[in-house]
Amino acid sequence: MSELVALLREGLPPESILTDPDVTASYAHDMASFCPAGAPAVVVLPRTVDEVRHVLRTATALRVPVVPQGARTGLSGAANAVEGCVVLSLTRMDAILEIDPVNRIAVVEPGVVNADLSKAVAAHGLAYPPDPSSWEQCTIGGNIGTGSGGLCCVKYGVTAEYVLGLDVVLADGRLLRTGRRTAKGVAGYDLTRLFVGSEGTLGVVVRAVLALKPAPPRQLVLAAEFGSTAAAGEAVARIMAAGHTPSLLELMDATTIEAVNRVTRMGLPDSTQALLLAGFDTQDPAAELAAVGELCRAAGATEVVPADDAAESELLLAARRATLVALESVKGTTMIDDVCVPRGRLAEFLDGVAAIAERRRLTIGVVAHAGDGNTHPTVCFDSSDEDERRRAQASFDDIMALGLELGGTITGEHGVGVLKRDWLARELGPDSVALQRQIREVFDPLGILNPGKVL
């Protein structure tokens, strides 16, 4: 038994320590493409805060890197193992400790699955809005680590806006409490927010106080078809400029529509170059749909289909939900990007991606949280075709450059991980990178927390 495993056993039960290489190898990757991963020395699955502290103390004593993991549904390699590391899976710390309707907070362990929390708070008439696509698998700890978003963000904001306070195990095993349980608070620097999106490089979240919202009325959805991306982009601009606040505003481009048609036989017309889905969960959503439908028509929509009820709304959303599977079926492998641009430049971005696809001879579908300007260009490629694989990887750089050129950011909600480390430096510039490095050193002077990620 290695010294590492022997020391870990002093504070963890044997069944919480995995060392079989076949098993530990299955913890090496999250869902990102093109991201290297090493082989973990060991995988630990603690059940208590004290066990996590023991893991960090052990790692500090032996100078062994620690890679925190949730459900590994991330798309930037942030949860990928590094060679010889301790993989620290928080999935077994999955208790919802408290739901408080008066103070509208939930207190949870990091391994709670997003959907489980959503269902639990719904029973109290409350909602935890952040809804990443992977919400049925992904954990709150992972959501906090990546600062994840979802469809609801256009109205309800991202994960960061729902994290009031954290318990964090620091690199040396100390337990830090940040933030508060109250609705407001400005006591000192905002360490809570610093941990959100830090991808496990500053500490390990073991408990979170989350803000909840009253459950909204059921949403009604409208679908609008457009003959050009420019028209769809114009509709998005008009909807937002007119002061509407949709609960979702999603866009699919022609490539995505075609893929969805092929897989689902939904029969969207071939002439449709862009499909816009707008949802409203206000008291009178039908009135909003009527107004937004008019704006879509004025922007050039070829067809506008407002749902009459929840069932019809779900049918319309089915097209959006089918996109990932549909795009995966095109070539077997996808690389899902995540670029956020000012929403006024959405059409330019879509046209730019289409040009990249043509130049690189690739199929790239774009789905976008259009209301936020947050796009997910999805590159479809055959990973066994070396040349196509290379072109796919090259298109990634093209897409990042395009996003920055349009005043956007290289990541709206998926995070940096290893995938976008170099591009992060380009977006931030050397002064910001230097400051961020120094902040990281404050929290992790030995460099054992998720090394090689983010910066």
453 binds its own copies (CB under 8 A): no
- Cβ-based neighbours of 168, under 8 Å, separated by 6 or more: 175, 176, 177, 178, 195, 202, 203, 204, 205, 206
| Contact with its own copies (CB under 8 A) among 20, 98, 190, 387 | 190
Nearer to its own copies among residue 1 and residue 186 (C-beta): 186
Tell me how far apart the alpha carbons of residues 94 and 334 are, in angstroms, rounded to a whole number.
Answer: 30
- Provide, rounded to whole angstroms, the least separation between the CB of residue 309 and its own copies: 20
Tell me how far apart the alpha carbons of residues 148 and 64 are, in angstroms, rounded to a whole number.
Answer: 28
Characterize the bridge pairing of strands 66-69 and 86-89.
parallel
| Contact with its own copies (CB under 8 A) among 3, 61, 98, 174 | 174
- Provide, rounded to whole angstroms, the least separation between the CB of residue 13 and its own copies: 28
Tell me how far apart the alpha carbons of residues 88 and 42 are, in angstroms, rounded to a whole number.
Answer: 9
| Contact with its own copies (CB under 8 A) among 79, 138, 416, 448 | 416
313 binds its own copies (CB under 8 A): no
- Provide, rounded to whole angstroms, the least separation between the CB of residue 44 and its own copies: 24
- List binders of its own copies among 214-233 (CB under 8 A): 214-215
DSSP letter at 356? H
User: CB-based burial of residue 62 (10 Å sphere; 0-12 exposed, 13-18 middle, 19+ buried)?
Assistant: middle
Tell me how far apart the alpha carbons of residues 367 and 253 are, in angstroms, rounded to a whole number.
Answer: 6
- Provide, rounded to whole angstroms, the least separation between the CB of residue 49 and its own copies: 15
Characterize the bridge pairing of strands 301-306 and 42-44.
unpaired
Tell me how far apart the alpha carbons of residues 439 and 190 are, in angstroms, rounded to a whole number.
Answer: 13
Task: Decide if 199 contacts 415 (C-beta within 8 A).
Answer: yes
- Provide, rounded to whole angstroms, the least separation between the CB of residue 209 and its own copies: 10
- Provide, rounded to whole angstroms, the least separation between the CB of residue 116 and its own copies: 21
How far, rounded to the nearest angstrom, does the alpha carbon of residue 322 sit from its chain's CA centroid? 18
- Provide, rounded to whole angstroms, the least separation between the CB of residue 218 and its own copies: 14
DSSP letter at 215? P
The residue to which tokens 């893991």 are assigned: 55
- List binders of its own copies among 65-124 (CB under 8 A): 100-104
| Contact with its own copies (CB under 8 A) among 116, 161, 348, 351 | 161
Residue 310 token pair: 């929840």
Q: Which stretch binds its own copies (CB under 8 A): 62-70, 79-87, 110-118, 154-162?
A: 154-162
Nearer to its own copies among residue 264 and residue 282 (C-beta): 282
Nearer to its own copies among residue 364 and residue 424 (C-beta): 424
| Among 99, 94, 69, CA closest to 82 | 69
Q: Which stretch binds its own copies (CB under 8 A): 2-10, 66-74, 290-298, 416-424?
A: 416-424
- Provide, rounded to whole angstroms, the least separation between the CB of residue 238 and its own copies: 8
Nearer to its own copies among residue 180 and residue 391 (C-beta): 180
Nearer to its own copies among residue 70 and residue 149 (C-beta): 149
35 binds its own copies (CB under 8 A): no
405 binds its own copies (CB under 8 A): no
Residue 222 token pair: 């409208």
Number of residues that bind its own copies (CB under 8 A): 88
Cross-strand partners of 364: 379
Taken in order 391, 74, 280, 219, the sign of the CA dihedral is: positive
Nearer to its own copies among residue 303 and residue 427 (C-beta): 427
Tell me how far apart the alpha carbons of residues 122 and 101 are, in angstroms, rounded to a whole number.
Answer: 11
125 binds its own copies (CB under 8 A): yes
| Contact with its own copies (CB under 8 A) among 33, 58, 133, 178 | 178
133 binds its own copies (CB under 8 A): no
- List binders of its own copies among 341-370 (CB under 8 A): 341-344, 369
- Provide, rounded to whole angstroms, the least separation between the CB of residue 81 and its own copies: 22
Tell me how far apart the alpha carbons of residues 420 and 5 are, in angstroms, rounded to a whole number.
Answer: 33
- List binders of its own copies among 370-399 (CB under 8 A): 371-374
198 binds its own copies (CB under 8 A): yes
Cross-strand partners of 223: 277, 305
30 binds its own copies (CB under 8 A): no
436 binds its own copies (CB under 8 A): yes
- Provide, rounded to whole angstroms, the least separation between the CB of residue 371 and its own copies: 8
User: CB-based burial of residue 276 (10 Å sphere; 0-12 exposed, 13-18 middle, 19+ buried)?
Assistant: buried
The residue to which tokens 């059940």 are assigned: 47
| Contact with its own copies (CB under 8 A) among 177, 218, 361, 390 | 177
Instruction: Compute CA distances 206 → 289, 322, 417, whole Å.
Output: 42, 34, 20
Task: Decide if 221 contacts 278 (C-beta within 8 A).
Answer: yes
- Provide, rounded to whole angstroms, the least separation between the CB of residue 162 and its own copies: 11
**What x/- string results for residues 230 through 269 when contact with its own copies is judged by CB under 8 A?**
-------x--xx-xxx------------------------
The residue to which tokens 């010889």 are assigned: 84
